[in-house]
Chain A
């Protein structure tokens, strides 16, 4: 009994860890490769969650819906809508100093939250959307469906990881890193900086949307109060910084490590008497905030530092002497 409990705890830990890994990979595209600051991760995550939920649920009189699409299509919808939201912000802000993008991304997250809370016809307001289906729902029932979902989440993580690694090595990724490291010289080399940055931001936001969609399908119920938006945004930043910004493996490792730390400490704090349990959650938050400072000052490279691939030349005749 104890063992099965542990097993299912591990499953839920890894499912949420996988969702955070996706967010972390997405932020790695934006920040790690593109050097773009996004402080509104929770906003894009929320858009994705609601889009996928609304697209896949059966008809309900309380919110927009009744499309009943299969889950993968819901996730595609989540990616498109979150990407669109990201495009709108990026279009306006990328030409300015990155601080402006940071301010505007907080703003868009706040607006999206307001829309979700206030537009009852769309999202059923604070009462939330329920009966969200799971992918491959017929395959298993009860707790075993968590195991199936675990596989599904990590399949998505794998796909995004492969795509993101390919992007990193591609000419596109190289240009992006050139822009990140030296904007002026990249511009001098003829790179369209604005275009690259907008693309990066949109791709990142789309992946955040997918992560949000997956979380909706996991919890099967969605309401605006389910997650603390700031906490999500903040945890993802700490994960990426600790894991190693610019490195996809680092992003996944950071997500798993910090999420494990976060959840396991929760078990201990939940055992404390009630008045201490709430207090200790603030201590946890405080410590994570300080952890970020330590990482920023001492271990900026993270657990797995960024390692640029060697520049390969095509095998056309002898290589020029350099």
Chain B
């Protein structure tokens, strides 16, 4: 039991936090701008490398440098939206999907061009895990990721339910035409969607890179489970996407626990497949997601 908590539950919740933070952006962009943002994973990668670059100059805990990554992703996202997505907004949204597919490659080749394509780590050496109640051992990073995600979830909830901008965002996600004729500032809503999505992408990227290592495919490899999480939570429901992220993370990690007998239930090399199967099952049985999101 303790072994299960230490080696499966905490890592699963950590992966879940990463997916949750990424999926919020995907879900909001899909809900408000109406397209699946294929460059979101690579936006995460970009943020991660921004933090790495800052870490090379400032020798402090990389978590303190996350704002550098956030600034980089926010600026890139707003710029890309302005230059590449906005001109296509009058067309069917599938053109924007194609465009974002290309932007994903642009982000990645920029990262490779500037920072090279080798694996990079933030810090070397093994940190001793935190021991709670003599039995539960959890790595400091995992705890940081889970707590940070919980705090962000609370903040996001208050932002969406209490502030004017947050409420406008939900209104646009629910019914863009109605929101527009009610006089909501759609341009501002779009801007905030990118700012929040990009900022959370940088945080997710930082935790993902700290958890393993930073490499140019880091974000792209996380894209599929993040899509699954966004669909699971219901498109346009940021809190749903958070829950979806944790559920997909748990499903992925726990599928390789030896539930029956001594072998892993599903070989760990097929972890990514679990997210995909969740996504397919959802699309067949409940495409609007668990929390009644929009079906676009």
Chain A residues near B (Cβ < 8 Å) = 35, 37, 39, 92-93, 96-100, 102-104, 106-108, 110-111, 114, 117-118, 230, 234, 237-238, 241, 278-279, 282-283, 285-286, 288-290, 292-293, 296-297, 300
Interchain CB contact under 8 A, B280 and A110: no
Instruction: Report if B78 contacts A (CB, 8 A).
Output: no
Instruction: Report if B60 contacts A (CB, 8 A).
Output: no
- Checking A35, A39, A107, A296 against B99 with a beta-carbon cut-off of 8 angstroms, the contacting residue is A296
- Checking B97, B113, B272, B280 against A286 with a beta-carbon cut-off of 8 angstroms, the contacting residue is B113
Instruction: Report if B184 contacts A (CB, 8 A).
Output: no
Instruction: Report if B98 contacts A (CB, 8 A).
Output: yes
Task: List B204-240 residues whose CB lies under 8 Å from chain A.
Answer: 220, 223-224, 227, 231
Q: How far is the CB of A85 from chain B (nearest CB, A)?
A: 13
List 23 interface pairs A-B (beta carbons < 8 Å), by A numbering.
A37-B94, A39-B101, A92-B284, A96-B287, A96-B295, A97-B296, A100-B283, A103-B279, A107-B276, A111-B272, A114-B269, A118-B269, A234-B102, A241-B98, A278-B117, A282-B110, A282-B112, A282-B113, A289-B102, A293-B84, A293-B103, A296-B102, A297-B87
Chain B residues near A (Cβ < 8 Å) = 30, 35-36, 38, 83-84, 87-88, 93-95, 97-99, 101-103, 105-106, 108-110, 112-113, 117, 220, 223-224, 227, 231, 267, 269-270, 272-273, 275-276, 279-280, 283-284, 287, 295-296
Interchain CB contact under 8 A, A297 and B88: yes
- Checking A99, A107, A110, A111 against B296 with a beta-carbon cut-off of 8 angstroms, the contacting residue is A99
- Checking B106, B276, B280 against A289 with a beta-carbon cut-off of 8 angstroms, the contacting residue is B106
Interface of A is mostly: helix
For A103, A117, A279, the residue with the greatest tally of chain B CB atoms inside 10 Å of its CB is A103
Q: How far is the CB of B82 from chain A (nearest CB, A)?
A: 12
Interchain CB contact under 8 A, B30 and A289: no
Using Cβ atoms and an 8 Å threshold, which residues of chain B touch A290? 102, 106
Using Cβ atoms and an 8 Å threshold, which residues of chain B touch A288? 105
Q: How far is the CB of B32 from chain A (nearest CB, A)?
A: 14
Using Cβ atoms and an 8 Å threshold, which residues of chain A touch B280? 92, 104, 107
Using Cβ atoms and an 8 Å threshold, which residues of chain A touch B87? 297
Interchain CB contact under 8 A, A286 and B110: yes
Residue of B nearest to A118 (CB): B269
